[in-house]
Structure 1
Amino acid sequence: MLHGRFSDAFPQDSERLVSLAEILSAFSYALDLTEGQPEGHCVRSCWIGTRIGQALGLPENDLWELYYTLLMKDLGCSSNAARICELYLADDHRFKHDYKFVDGNLGNVLKFVFTRTGTDAPFTRRVGAIANILKNGPEIARSLVETRCMRGADIARQLRFSDNVADGIAGLDEHWDGSGKPNGVAGDAIPLFSRVALLAQIVDIFWKANGREAACDEVKARTGSWFDPELCTAFLAIAGKDDFWTDLAAPDIEQQIFALEPAQQVTLVDEDYLDDIASAFGQVIDAKSPYTSGHSNRVGDYVDGICAHLGYADDRSRTLRRAAILHDIGKLGVSNLILDKPGKLDEEEWAIMRDHARHTTEILGRISIFEDMAAIAGAHHERLDGTGYPLGLDAVTISMDTRIISVCDFYDALVADRPYRGAMPREKALTIIKEEVGAAIDPRCFEALEAITEQ
């Protein structure tokens, strides 16, 4: 059961309440980016898994908890991205996407590792990486899964979900026969929600890549090894109907999953809960790279300070803080090969990096209550002189809200470590920012930043 459910505590027509399903389904698209999955993967997995739960006759509250386990199954996915790049010398998105098609057979796993590790790296680095994997492969794989699953469970609890949901996320990569990770538990010892989520995930991946027959064949092949046989029987029964696949492929699949949330369990979110959600996803964002730990919430803190200095109303300051915390959510779509590159980005890499601002706007724009934040947060790399990105806005069109986030993001990027340099002291950072006042940075925002960072 969710801690702090608001459906009975607030009037249903309040303009400041929004469905939890709407918010988290939108954020699930950011998780898809991080896992290298086609858009809507978590949403479709939620639809598939909830249908399996219905076929099993689960009671309504169990269905509700299963629903959110499925939607948020990849909450921890950003936490091992940098490590994957470091160990395998590979694009984390592509590596994660392709590995989902490996069936766990040792020979197939080794073939995958040998053909994906360091393909663009110098020969000696590639040989060293493969040697390390041959020596420590099982522990490397276990630790990567453990990091991902435990981190996802922790964030689920921060989102006020119960231990049932958190445990469901933590057990996502356990297999029915005990061959999974990180703990190698088997059978009914694996949480039911984990068993359903793994099955739903594989169904969507193989269906999206190769169609319904491929998905069903994969389920049959892994019955009794990866998958609980009872769940496979339930899935194959509902998958035998054409409308199952027609509905799964429908363009309104997101609206369909809203309708699948058990009616008596629909959860509405108030202002305090919105703060918690923004903070939790700020942690998902910052976990993507070791160089961004704490960045999102620090930018939020600076925004709070500037808003107070400029006399912003409390409610507007609160909204802007959320936009600040979420301003980099689009970076979940950028490989760590680019995010953590110690040298200068080439033209193609820079184009991918710039695209993160567009992703931020699109993800936040999916949420009605965050709609005003989407354009504000997505514009944080625009410049007053019109040479910024992604839209080339200028002083006439860049809002004051965006100007505040921009200067705070700029400052924190300078005073924190980056892959290409160490952290700068306050004075040096302010000197660099001052040179951009009038061209990129609003003078009022700069003066406020100076004031709130005085020691």
Structure 2
Amino acid sequence: MELDIIGLVSACSYALDCIEAELVHVTNRHGKRVAYISVCMAEKFGIIGEALQDLAMCALLHDNALTQYISEEVRHDLIKDQTMDISSKKLGVHCVYGEQNIKKLPFYTDVTNVILYHHENADGTGPFRKKWEEIPLFARIIHLCDTIDIIGNTGGYDQQNWEQAKAYLVKYENTIFDAECVKAFLEVFSEEKFADMGGEELEKRLWEKVPRKKQFCDEGTCKDLADFFAQIVDYKSEFTGMHSIGVAKKAAALAEHLGYDRLDIQKIYLAGALHDIGKMAIGNEILEKPGRLTDEEFSKMKNHAGYTYMILSEVEDFEEIRDWAALHHEKLDGSGYPFGKTAEELNEPERILACVDIYQALTEDRPYKKGMTHEQACGILEDMAQKGWIDAKITGQVRECFGEIH
């Protein structure tokens, strides 16, 4: 399968920005701004072509483990200290998780230690005590660019913040930042170019610099990509656990059971992995509410399917998989969301994802409930089919396919 991988990564960066906004109050497009500043600086070092694309991917994904970090580290500490300020806690451990997460992604060049060391300081006072000559150039670039964007977000990309950014770099040259990167940034960026960072043309400028070409992915690489994105989504809330991975696996198994070819099975697996990426934009106070949602809360929750559609619309030639992923809450009678589509507008893969999403949610354990048995879940699916909400034929195939597992 050919995929716009950097487009997928860019879409994922929007979802990560939503998490970062909750954690450290950085506004949306943080990942894209860091990527843009990074590639502008990298060109000064003579980096071009595929290496530039790899840098952009690393910059877009520099905080890819934030959800994992919050789930495994911060929540554990909050249990012990209810007054802890999450935003003030050191986040260095997310570099370790982030480095591990990207190992199976299809980079053109060697990006070892780029994510791991992107919070290291030039003088060796960072999390791993590495000095600038021990840190990959890409990591040093991202470290500086990450800081510059945070400064820009404190009050806007205006003259005052431009002067503040320059003064900060000069003050901490050879301590936080190495002299090479400081010099490159100050030679590349002007007050006018800094001001442009807050404008609407940012993404256009980024893609003008980065060669955004589709890559061929074999079945193994496609699965690795899908699992990477599913993991980021599933770590958003402990209440959803391994939901996206579960939907991806079961949707692919059902597609195989129905006789789909290998390419379409890969696509359905990817759609299953991505179907809830829009939940990254929904607050955990809603995602993790164990009781019944109010009408207002449910309205906000329903937005996640629309966010999935919006996020995946960024990816080139991805409309088919986007629709399979985003339409999993549509109903055949037109009462679903986000678009209120009817039976005539919903194809079989979209119906598969809808049925499997419900089945997975019913049968998986969550902190507030034990998963249902296969028989119980099938009974609910069949009742929903009788009401005209989901496909009765596919519901029957769910019983047959997954009954063999139980």
Scaled by the length of structure 1, the TM-score of the pair is 0.76
The alpha-carbon distance between structure 1 residues 389 and 171, as it changes in their structure 2 partners (threshold 3 A), is same
For 2:177 and 2:56, the matched residues in 1 are separated by 19
**Paired residue for 1:449?**
398
Amino acid at match of 1:452: C
Deviation at 1:156, TM superposition (A): 1.2
Q: Name which of 203, 222, 237 aligns with 2:187.
A: 237
Is 1:332 aligned to residue 280 of structure 2? Answer: yes
Q: 2:17 matched to 1:32?
A: yes
CA distance in 2 between partners of 1:65 and 1:305 (Å):
33
Aligned residues: 393
Which of 346, 354, 378 aligns to 1:430? It is 378
Of 154-163 and 279-288, more deviation after overlay is shown by: 154-163
- Check 1:269–1:39 CA distance in 2 against 1; reply closer, same or farther (3 A cut): farther
Q: In the aligned structure 1, how far is the partner of 2:292 from the partner of 2:399?
A: 29
The alignment status of 1:21 with 2:10, answered yes or no, reads: no
Per the alignment, do residues 339 and 163 of structure 1 end up closer, same or farther by CA in structure 2, a change over 3 Å counting?
A: farther
Aligned to 2:167: 220
- Which residues of 2 match residues 293-308 of structure 1 at below 5 A? 293-308=241-256
C-alpha deviation, 1:18, in angstroms: 4.5
Q: CA deviation digits over 1:9-34, x for unaligned, max 9? A: xxxxxxx6344333322332222222
Task: State the alpha-carbon separation in 2 of the partners of residues 411 and 198 from structure 1.
Answer: 43
Q: State the AA in 2 paired with 1:129.
A: Q
Contact 2:162 2:191 in 1 (8 A): no
How many Å separate the matches in 2 of 1:70 and 1:253?
A: 15
Q: Is the 8 A contact 2:226 2:269 kept in 1?
A: no
Task: Give the fraction of aligned pairs with identical amino acids, expressed as a percent.
Answer: 28
Deviation at 1:54, TM superposition (A): 2.1
How do residues 35-434 of structure 1 correspond to structure 2 at under 5 angstroms? 35-36=20-21, 37-58=26-47, 63-82=52-71, 86=75, 128-130=81-83, 133=84, 141-142=89-90, 144-146=91-93, 148-161=94-107, 164-181=110-127, 183-208=128-153, 209-212=155-158, 213-221=160-168, 223-224=172-173, 225-240=175-190, 242=192, 244-245=193-194, 248-249=197-198, 251-261=200-210, 268-272=215-219, 273-434=221-382
Structure 2 segments unaligned to the other structure (5+ residues): none
Which runs of no fewer than 5 residues in structure 1 stay unpaired? Answer: 1-15, 90-124
CA contact (8 A) 1:381 1:390 kept: yes
How far is 1:43 from its partner? 1.7
Q: Secondary structure at the match of 2:92?
A: helix
CA pair 64-325 structure 1, distance change in 2 beyond 3 A? closer
Q: Distance in 1 between matches of 2:393 and 2:134?
A: 59
Amino acid at match of 1:447: G
Task: Mark the CA change 1:296 to 1:250 in structure 2 (over 3 Å): closer, same or farther.
Answer: same
2:343 aligned counterpart, secondary structure: coil
Question: Which stretch shows the higher mean deviation, 293-302 or 193-202?
Answer: 293-302
What are the superposed Cα offsets for residues 153-181 of structure 1, whole Å, 9 maximum, x if unpaired? 12211113389524111122233344433
SS of aligned partner of 1:165:
coil
- Which moved further from structure 2: 373-382 or 187-196? 187-196
1:46 to partner: Cα distance: 0.9
> How far off its partner does 1:217 sit?
1.0
SS of aligned partner of 1:391 = coil
Q: Is the 8 A contact 1:168 1:193 kept in 2?
A: yes
Over 3 Å counting, the alpha-carbon distance change for 1:443 and 1:369 in structure 2 is same
SS in structure 2 at match of 1:444: helix
> Could you say if the C-alpha distance between residues 341 and 227 of structure 1 is closer, same or farther in structure 2, counting changes exceeding 3 Å?
farther
In structure 1, what residue type is equivalent to 2:146?
Q
Q: TM-score, normalised by structure 2?
A: 0.85
Give the distance between the partners of 1:401 and 1:370, measured in 2 at CA.
Answer: 15
Per-residue CA distance 1:113-159 (angstroms, 9 max, x = gap): xxxxxxxxxxxx9x9523xx49xx99x945x531x222221221111
Q: Is the 8 A contact 1:382 1:393 kept in 2?
A: yes
Closer, same or farther in 2 for the Cα pair 1:141/1:260, shift >3 Å? Answer: same
Distance in 2, matches of 1:446 and 1:415, equals: 15
Shift of 1:240: 2.4
Q: How far, CA to CA, are the matches of 2:205 and 2:273 in structure 1? A: 30
Please give the alpha-carbon distance, in whole angstroms, between the structure 1 residues aligned to 2:215 and 2:70: 32
Q: CA deviation at 1:380?
A: 0.7
Deviation at 1:405, TM superposition (A): 0.5
Deviations 1:381-431 (A, max 9, x none): 122233322222233333222111011111111111223312222222222
User: In the aligned structure 2, how far is the partner of 1:337 from the partner of 1:388?
Assistant: 23
Question: Over the residues paired in the alignment, what is the CA RMSD in angstroms?
Answer: 3.1
Deviations 1:325-360 (A, max 9, x none): 210111122233332233333344333322111111
Question: Does the 8 Å contact 1:203/1:216 carry over to 2?
Answer: no
Counterpart amino acid of residue 197 in structure 1: I
8 A contact 1:220–1:232 mirrored in 2: no
